[in-house]
Amino acid sequence: MPVIYDAIIVGGGFAGLQAAIQLGRYSAHHVLVIDAGGGRPNICRNYHNILGWPEGISGEELRARGRRQAEVAGVEFVTDRITKADKQNGLFQLNGFENQCYSSKTLLLATGVMDRFPELPGLVATLGKTVYVCPDCDGYEIQNRQTLLLGSGDVGANMAFVLRERTGDLTYINHECQPVSAENRQRLDEQGILYVEEAVARIDEENDGIIKAVVLESGNTLLAERGFIAFGNNAVHSELAAELGVKLHKNKHIEADKRSLMTNVEHLWVAGDVAVHAEQATVAMGEGAIAGIWMHKELKKISMVSLPPSKQNHSEMVKQNK
């Protein structure tokens, strides 16, 4: 007979892991995390803005610690990629990459977002260490430093205007040579942002992810202390949500109740970057905890409904006498 889990969490990033820890610590639910691996946390070498880690911690290390913490609380993990999702007779039915089937009473989608960036030598090695993607998370790291922004068209230009508040030594390299509006070109000039429209050949690093320079395809070299990327069209992994009939925002992120984070589909929650919110690791953790709390509340209600009427009445009397 197939196992029916109380809760399945699709995605083992920060949101999914925090929800798993929250649910596991209730010691009342059979919880499974299905994770395909990879994702944003694994490409970030060093998160600098997370409470308790002033020197930073890599996404890979933080995920490993989170998984161990959830496993101690009794949460199960499986490596798989969900390719199909359905809901039948009140149960969520998920199919894995090799047609493995998973069933659960409740479901959390923490499938995340993936940044789009070119395959450039040296880029992955520096991401999260001295090259960043989020000005809210890491604008602090470029304060008054020589900074190179690699991007595409107006997406990169708009990021440049945000970063300009942090440093006066900023160069925007339009790597994909996509059009920049006349208005934005004028703003770049007015704000003293050097504009270069040329593809990048590689990123040179000094050691252990410290950016030193960007080498253009022409052979010209631009020195740098820090870097940013802004290419746009990031992949929003909301396909399973759409398949299940979940309401999506116009940007393909998943909409949900602002208090409970449950979507318009009963017993289906969302947390993390795939949801409609600011895409930050700390926000994802908070949402994971909130989703876990509300999933627990609903699972208690589901358990009550499954009890015989006499036991339901007894449980209500116990509650009232407390």
Per-residue pLDDT averaged across 20-26, rounded? 98
Q: Which residues of 165-192 are buried (b: 16+ CB within 10 A; e: fewer)?
A: ebbebbbbbbbbebebeeebeebbeeee
Does 322 have pLDDT greater than 80?
no
Name the β-bridge partners of 82.
none
List Cα–Cα distances, 98 to 83, 86, 94, 242, 293, in angstroms: 9, 17, 12, 21, 32
pLDDT score, position 156: 98
pTM greater than 0.75 = yes
| Phi (first) and psi of residue 211, to 5 degrees | -65, 140
Closest alpha carbon to 289 in 152, 150, 110, 125 = 110
Assess whether pLDDT exceeds 60 at residue 307.
no
Q: What is the pLDDT of residue 306?
A: 65
pLDDT, one tens digit per residue, over 258-271 is 999 999 999 999 99
**Would you state the pLDDT for residue 70?**
98
Q: Looking at the predicted structure, is the pLDDT value of residue 318 above 70?
A: no
For residue 30, the model assigns a pLDDT of 98
pLDDT tens digits along 143-185:
999 999 999 999 999 999 999 999 999 999 999 999 999 999 9
For residue range 203-236, what is the model confidence (pLDDT) as tens digits?
A: 999 988 999 999 999 999 999 999 999 999 999 9
Residue-wise pLDDT tens digits, 24-58? 999 999 999 999 988 888 888 889 899 999 989 99
